[in-house]
Structure 1
Amino acid sequence: MAHAVPLLRPGHHLQLLEGSRAFFPALVAAIDAARTEVLLETYIFDFTATGAEVAYALERAARRGVTVRLIVDGVGTPELPAFWRDRFDQAPVQWLVYSPVGALGLLWPGQWRRLHRKLCVIDDSVGFCGGINILDDFHDPNHGPLASPRFDFTLRIAGPLVHEIRATIERQWSRIAALGQLRRARWSGALQLLRTATGRAAPPPAPADSVHANVRAALLLRDNLRRRAIIERAYLRAIGRAREEIIIANAYFVPGGRMRRALVSAARRGVRVCLLLQGRYEYFMQYYASRPVFGALLRAGVEIHEYAPSFLHAKVAVIDGRWATVGSSNLDPLSLLLAREANVVVEDRGFATQLRERLVAAMQDEGQRMDAAAYERRPPLQRAKERLALVVMRALLAIQGKKYL
């Protein structure tokens, strides 16, 4: 039976961090304060620029006796550079690769089921969950230097969810080992985690004016077993209950029929629906496959704003100024049908207000609102690319045994 959306629990302290410029200093500070363990799971670990600062922090922690475990995805991070493999082995930083790609690459059934989560726990006392990879804001592995920073968010968390995040990473580590993936790993040091709480340092403090205290929150973990629709279900429930405003910022937005109908229904009952989406070309399939769904949304009165300064990688939403989510899940078939994802859902007016203000500013100052009439006049070549992108996406899904209507 599929899991229901979990109840939100109180007692969390949350800090919203925008981009690697805010996330990496907070992460490095927490790692440098670690006394017993650091568990990190990420889709991409890129060692360029400030990404190397995180790597050095992991190395420092391991060299002073902290148990450090790193999991990366086999597509997002197919291999670690030789320089860093050697340093991690010597430290020792333990690391594993989730589902390395074989000779047939992504054509092999199941290979699109990626580990897309971005999670970290330090000493079971502070955690991080969001959409930001270990990747410098001003660097793109495919497009090179960026003139403006990538737009994305993560959360620094203290409270009950930290233990859930820790258990999640531990389970993933054990599963990779059980599946025989250790042939792609490099092991050094003892394998037993230090579980004692004696001598643990308190999590490094965050600026008081940016922390939201006693927040109600829940961790949503999408997998391909019992929690296949948990993140989509949370979105649909919140959208269905919306009465005033829905703001969604999403990098790869190719919503299925249920999501499209929910947004159209909300707009038609008088809810202001605003989408902040990727405005710059990044990947052919994700960029063009999203365009055909815009027509019905625009006709229903949905506002679509395309983010212009840089790549938008945010996976966040705010509804009615109280409900919010921050995480790794896009609203596309790769995230909603195939990938392992992690989102935090929050119900707190102060937190939602902070996130909403940043999204509204991005729409007003850094976005370009799509004109419905101009959309209908888009040229035949663009329409052909859109149809091709949808065909490619559906073919890839068919290989994985999935349909997305």
Structure 2
Amino acid sequence: MSRWVSGNQFHLLENGEEFFPRVFECIAAAKREVVLETFILFEDKVGEELHAALHQAARRGVQVDMTIDGYGSPDLSPEFISTLTRAGVRVHVFDPGPKLWGWRTNVFRRMHRKIVVIDGARAFVGGINYSADHLADFGPQAKQDYAVEIEGPLVADINTFVHKALAAGQRNAGGQPSPGLRERFSDRARSFAGSWRQDKVPAPVGEASALFVTRDNRKHTNDIERHYRAAIRTARKRVVIANAYFFPGYRLIQEMRRAARRGVEVQLILQGEPDMAIVKTAASMLYHHLLDAGVHIYEYCERPLHGKVAAIDDEWATVGSSNLDPLSLSLNLEANVVIRDRAFNETLTANLDQLIQNHCKRIERGDLMESTWWRSVRSYFVFHLLRRYPAWAGWLPAHAPRITPASSASPGDKPRMPDHEPPSQANAV
């Protein structure tokens, strides 16, 4: 279970311009180990920079494990993979599902996390993938997004998690964890909470208390949503949420409405220039319900919003990979950090205020031009859909997530990558 850990320090990283150089710098300084998980890795200029950083780290003796999602990263070339594996990088593919009549059979329940852990002492968690569309020079479709750099004892929890995920994924695929993973997760090690000795826990470096919160399809099906709901329920002054894909469940919407009705300033920053049209259409179905309760809605119109962050009152904040939609809240594997720290809350709040003031359009009731009868019919169906989707999401196919190596046996062999369909806009989340 997630636990509050004190003594941490967090640094907010906005967009690829801040995130990529810092991650690559830390990989270049790694001495023992780099563990990286990402939903999307494209073979563009950002992917090539990551490739070079991991390749160089492995060549100098650092143990490197990289896990990519089989749906989100389908088109890496054999040369891209083989150069890494020959240098010693262990490249893992999450759920490289089989096809049935040309269609994937496990398009749901993707590994959507974005995590990096360096030497067990520094970590990064957020929503930024390794692709050039997270850089401003990509153009009008460049994404607005966030991540955090983490130092302190919480890194031990994150480090334990990523290693356990690797070991479990390999076992589910019918294999055995690599020798390093077997050693780290021996029976004796598993008997200790966190799987690490106390001398492996980074020393306190700051004042922030934090949780590392994940969701999966077994024991932690709604942990991230529960933390959102609890924080909104206890809010006294302000709730500001910036989320790219917004179609939350009934209980989360009700907490927002109740907070606004008791006088809390509730502000939502949603996509005004979406990367997928359905995103704005789905969110707009909820506008009447939220506006009627006093929730303020802002559409970010500068470029596509990809962030998954929130700040509540003076201390609480979260940054991570989880959207507030059915995929993230009921299907995908996600990871967020929840932070209690005035300084970080102030930094994130100031950033979001700048978005609201300079790049957003506030949605008013007069902007919602549709007939009353249609709104009533649509609201009825949306209401019942939101009340029931956590239940029907459980009917979708569930399986033990598998992690399969992508490797080349020798310099003359081609690396093996699972079959995939061509990339689609669905990969953008």
TM-score normalised over the length of structure 1: 0.84
Q: Deviations over 1:91-120 (max 9, x none)?
A: 121111111132147773x54111111111
Do 1:12 and 1:160's aligned partners in 2 also have CA atoms closer than 8 Å? Answer: yes
Q: Give the 3 Å change call, closer, same or farther, for CA 256–138 of structure 1 in structure 2.
A: closer
Shift in alpha-carbon separation, 1:378–1:323, aligned structure 2, 3 A: farther
The 3 A distance-change label for structure 1 pair 34 and 48 is same
1:35 counterpart (31, 44, 62): 31
- Output aligned runs, 1:23-172, within 5 Å: 23-104=19-100, 108=105, 111-138=107-134, 145-147=138-140, 149-172=142-165
How many correspondences in the alignment? Answer: 378
Instruction: Report the Cα distance in structure 1 between the residues aligned to 2:113 and 2:324, rounded to whole angstroms.
Output: 14
Identity score, percent = 36
3-state SS of paired residue (1:290): helix
- 2:328 is aligned to 335
CA 1:88–1:302 in 2, change beyond 3 Å: closer, same or farther? same
In 2 relative to 1, CA 298–381 (structure 1 residues): closer, same or farther, beyond 3 Å? closer
Residue 333 of structure 1 and its aligned partner are, at CA, apart by 0.9
| Structure 1 CA distance for aligned equivalents of residues 18 and 242 of structure 2 | 19
Tell me: CA distance 1:292–1:346, structure 2 relative to 1, closer, same or farther (3 Å): same
Distance 2:379 2:229 in 1: 26
Match of 2:318 in 1: 325
| Mapped contact 1:284–1:389 kept (Cα < 8 A) | no
**Match among 303, 306, 325 for residue 299 of structure 2:** 306
Q: Does residue 280 of the first structure (1) align with residue 273 of the second (2)?
A: yes
Counterpart of 1:401?
A: 395
Note the residue ranges of structure 2 that are not aligned, 5 or more in a row: 185-195, 397-429
Q: How many angstroms does 1:47 deviate by?
A: 2.6
Query: 1:159 is aligned with what amino acid?
Result: G
Alignment match of 2:180 (pick from 181, 189, 192): 192
CA shift in 2, pair 1:89/1:323, >3 Å? same
Q: Is the 8 A contact 1:248 1:276 kept in 2?
A: yes
- Provide Cα deviations, 1:152-190, integer angstroms capped at 9, x if missing partner: 1111111112111111111121122112277xxxx9xx8
Whole-Å Cα distance in 2 between the matches of residues 271 and 390 of structure 1? 23
User: What SS class does the counterpart of residue 110 from structure 2 fall into?
Assistant: coil
The one-letter code matched in structure 2 to 1:98 is F
Output the amino acid matched with 1:339.
Answer: N
Could you state the TM-score of these two structures normalised by the residue count of structure 2? 0.79
2:28–2:56 contact (8 Å) kept in structure 1:
yes
Question: CA 1:292 to 1:106, structure 2 compared with 1: closer, same or farther past 3 Å?
Answer: farther
Could you report, residue by residue, the CA deviation over 1:65-105 in whole angstroms, capped at 9, with x for unpaired residues? 11100001111112422231121122121111111132147
The answer to whether the 8 A contact 2:330-2:393 is kept is: no
Q: Give the letter for the 2:31 counterpart.
A: R
Unaligned runs of 5+ in 1: 204-211
**1:7 CA displacement:** 4.0
Greater displacement, 376-385 / 146-155:
376-385
Partner of 1:213: helix, strand, or coil? coil
Q: Structure 1 residue 226: deviation in Å?
A: 1.2
**Separation in 1, partners of 2:379, 2:71:** 25
2:11 maps to which of 12, 15, 18: 15
The equivalent residue for 2:356 is 363
Instruction: Report the counterpart of residue 209 of structure 1 in structure 2.
Output: none
Give me the whole-angstrom Cα distance separating, in 1, the residues matched to 2:379 and 2:97: 28
Quickly say closer, same or farther: Cα 1:107–1:370, change in 2 above 3 A: farther
Q: Are 1:346 and 2:342 counterparts?
A: no
Check conservation: 1:70, 1:95, Cα contact below 8 A: yes
SS at match of 1:224: coil
Q: What is the CA-CA distance between 1:399 and the residue it aligns to?
A: 7.6
Q: What secondary structure sits across from 2:304 in the alignment? A: coil
Within 1, Cα distance between the matches of 2:278 and 2:384? 9
Give the 3 Å change call, closer, same or farther, for CA 38–89 of structure 1 in structure 2.
same
User: Structure 2: which amino acid aligns with 1:20?
Assistant: G
- Residue type of the alignment partner of 2:84: F
Q: Is the 8 A contact 2:16 2:134 kept in 1?
A: no
Instruction: Between 368-377 and 312-321, report the one with greater CA deviation.
Output: 368-377
- Which residue of structure 1 lines up, in the alignment, with residue 256 of structure 2? 263
Partner Cα distance (2:13, 2:51) in 1: 19
In structure 2, what is the Cα distance between the partners aligned to 1:296 and 1:391?
13
1:39-64 deviations in Å (ceiling 9; x for gaps): 00010112312232122100000111
Say if 2:152 and 2:206, in contact at 8 Å, map to a contact too.
no
